[in-house]
Structure 1
Amino acid sequence: MTIAPDKLAEILRDAAKREILPRFRKLDEGMVRTKSSAIDLVTEADVGAERVITAALKQAAPDALVVGEEAVAADASLLDRALDAPFVIYVDPVDGTANFVGGLPLYAVMASVVVNGETVAGVIYDPMGDDWLMAEIGSGAWLKFPDGRAIPQRFSDPAPLNDMIGTASPFYMQPAARAKVLANFNKLRMVASYRCAGHEYRLAAGGNIHFLMFHKLMPWDHLAGSLIMQEAGAFVARFDGEPYLPAHRDGGLLIAPDQDSWTELRQQVFVDA
């Protein structure tokens, strides 16, 4: 009741080559639609890639419940049904769709494997670089390449607060809390947002930043990345300090080099998040 991460990466890579890359910077007006807001977009690449990935996963792991972002957009009950399923594979066919639509090469294809309510594997594939971050629980985090090379990943060492560099997405917070958090960014060296969780996790896995903060939690956005961060040595928790689990859809997520750094960030920067 599982699927090998290497096989999962192969499926994501094949879908990207078939459905995503041929459409990059070649989207006609009719190929892009708005979902919940002006920045929540879906394209023919999202739909096509999810269709290909889902079909391949059902063949490779027929006992898995495949939960794709676009399938949930069509049938929200699928997300609730997944909570009771023993074997679930969550899929984000194009993470960073707004970047993809804008022709920015910062988008990713992600999948995570959940067995009996525990995330056991995750893959983040970068179609532009043709490589992928991968983690299997207890086996470390790796950057892998089609030629077989594999580079172990390690989260950054702790740093003083005023030297910390990281990414944050406070944009779904209530206005008053968001204003306070944005003011607190002055305590840090640098804060950015790539509008693509996959690439932010990629940056962090290589030890290039000291923290990541996300407010909105959907399983296809963060299960793979949070496992990769843990396997790379980071401290990962929701804003209340509790572990992040596949059932969680709110409560925020904060990732730091260790628990002390996490606590300092929570108290000094993300205090009202």
Structure 2
Amino acid sequence: MLREVTATRYIEPLREGGSLPGLIEADDLGTYVLKFRGAGQGRKTLVAEVVCGELARRLGLRVPRLVTVALDAVLGLGEPDPEVQELLKGSGGTNLGMDFLSGALGFDPLAFEVSPEEAGRVVWFDALVTNVDRSWRNPNLLRWHGDLWLIDHGATLIWHHNWPGAQTSAARPYDAADHALRSFAPDVRAAAADLAPRVTEDLLAEVTAAVPDAWLTGEPGFDIPDDLRRAYAAPLLARAATVHEHIHGLEETR
């Protein structure tokens, strides 16, 4: 499970994100980017953030540390923005936080270099989790202390929006033509050789166990949270072995 902290102060909204995340302080004296369970995208966005973030971390990619955040809705009483106030009031309970990387810069492919090896690992991972939100228009990448960090994985795991078609959705090819790292000649085959064997049943069980039960209960077609955890893991396990063969749009970079 993720470590739990309690929000003690709401600092400000971060308006770069479509879900209007916020910056908070917590009882461990840490500062976190808070993603609300009451946001329009719903709790599935939080599940995707945890599954992808924890999987990426275990595969050696850099992702800000994730925590669950206990939020008391009264923190919204003094917020002047009605939209933010409604988010705070509607998100009492367990939310998702990620370490705030103070001083991090948004990734600019014209200003930063990325090796083909690292680019390949990121592209392979995004193909695995069907990430459609890592384009040059919106990279969702940060440069912090000279390293590349991955953020915002809410728009992934497309199969959890239609469980009856999960296996079909998981078999879809991945279009990397607009990927933020396409110009760095990603070495996807080397990444697959290294990373695919690591995606095992045990690893995915560990990753999905980090998702709080509160975000998994009540899903139609699933009796208990562990059934849903296994449903998240199954397409990832099946996809990992061959996804590198179904990545399109990189041909001109080779």
TM-score of the aligned structures, taking structure 2 as reference length:
0.25
TM-score of the aligned structures, taking structure 1 as reference length:
0.24
